Amino acid sequence: MTALLFDLPPVVTIPVVGEAAHYPVGRIFCVGRNYAAHAAEMGFEVDREAPFYFTKSAASAVLTGATVAYPPGTENYHHEMELVIAIGAPVFRADAAEARAAIYAMGCGLDMTRRDLQIASRSKQRPWDLGKDVEDSAVFAPLTPAAQVGPVGPQRIHLAVNGEIRQDATLDELIWKLDEIIVDLSQFYHLRPGDLIMTGTPAGVGPVVAGDTITGGIDGLEGISLTIAPAE
Ligand code: MN
């Protein structure tokens, strides 16, 4: 075996309800503007032309219950509560049935965002990385196998900051449904186990500050929490 000059941090792994083994985080894909009311609050009308994506580094993943420092370079760090899909089988150029079969599990996630930097880069037609690929910004709750979740639609998705509700919607409001996202994304990537897809956030995004605790949930899934510590 080839010796390494240094060790990297271990891959982040997510517990799965009813399973002894964890789900290792490979790649993190994120869908933009997938709820009309959130698109509107960001100043956009929704179109059905095609979904769009950005990514977060797998190294930015943390598990629910974490306390993370307020990140550098922002004065407007936002919460985004999201449904997460965990891919469980290789899938490329999927049809709808193959897309549904590739969903291994679902979970709650937080797509924490340096909103000021995202908006600045957007207005300059630059990439979103500084706004979105933030250290410790991809937060995951334990996953629930898809077979135990049932049809996605009526479930409530909600988020509170210090107990005060900020985001409250249902999964019926997803513009691009789960199979449609996988069908489209798999035109561009060989999706495989370890790939997580954050499916977008409903309306009500907003800032957090040091000392805040975020709690969120989706009916039928394990809840999520994150506490923001002072900046380093
Ligand atoms: Mn998001």
The domain of 40 spans 25-229
47 has pLDDT over 80:
no
Contact 161, 208 (CB under 8 A): yes
Residue 101 lies in a domain: yes
In angstroms, what is the span from residue 132 Cα to ligand 1's centroid? 8
**6 alpha carbon – ligand 1 mean position (Å):** 33
pTM above 0.85, yes or no: yes
Decide if 141 contacts 64 (C-beta within 8 A): yes
Q: How many angstroms separate the alpha carbon of residue 5 from the centre of ligand 1?
A: 36
> How far, in Å, from the CA of 50 to the mean position of ligand 1?
16
User: What CATH number has the domain bearing residue 120?
Assistant: 3.90.850.10
Can you say how many angstroms the Cα of residue 10 is from the centroid of all Cα atoms in its chain? 20
In terms of C-beta density within 10 A (0-12 exposed, 13-18 middle, 19 or more buried), how is residue 167 classed? buried
Average pLDDT over residues 191-219: 98
Q: How much distance in Å is there from the Cα of 88 to the middle of ligand 1?
A: 22
Q: Distance (Å, rounded) from C-alpha 34 to C-alpha 44?
A: 11
132 inside domain: yes
20 part of a folded domain: no
C-alpha 4 – ligand 1 centre gap (Å)? 35
Sheet of 77-79: strand order equals 113-114, 77-79, 206-207
In a domain, 120, yes or no: yes
Q: How confident is the model over 3-20, as a mean pLDDT?
A: 97
Q: How far apart are CA 184 and CA 104, in angstroms?
A: 18
Q: State yes or no: pLDDT of 44 exceeds 90.
A: no
Q: How far is the CA of 47 from the centre of ligand 1 (A)?
A: 17
pLDDT in tens, 61-86: 999 999 999 999 999 999 999 999 99
Distance 198 CA to ligand 1 centre (A): 7
Q: Is residue 16 part of a domain?
A: no
Picking from 209, 202, 102, 211, the residue whose alpha carbon sits closest to that of residue 159 is 202
199 band by pLDDT with thresholds 50, 70 and 90: very high
| Total domain count, the chain | 1
For the record, the structure tokens of 178 come out as: 């789960």
Residue 33 CA, ligand 1 centroid: distance in Å:
8
User: What is the token pair recorded at 9?
Assistant: 């941090």
CA of 205 to the centre of ligand 1 (A): 10
Asked if pLDDT for residue 164 goes beyond 80, the answer is yes
Distance CA 118, CA 15 (A): 30
Task: Give the residue from 225, 109, 207 showing the smallest Cα distance to 163.
Answer: 225
Q: What separation in angstroms does the CA of 41 have from each of 101, 193, 196?
A: 34, 34, 26
Tell whether 39 is covered by a domain: yes
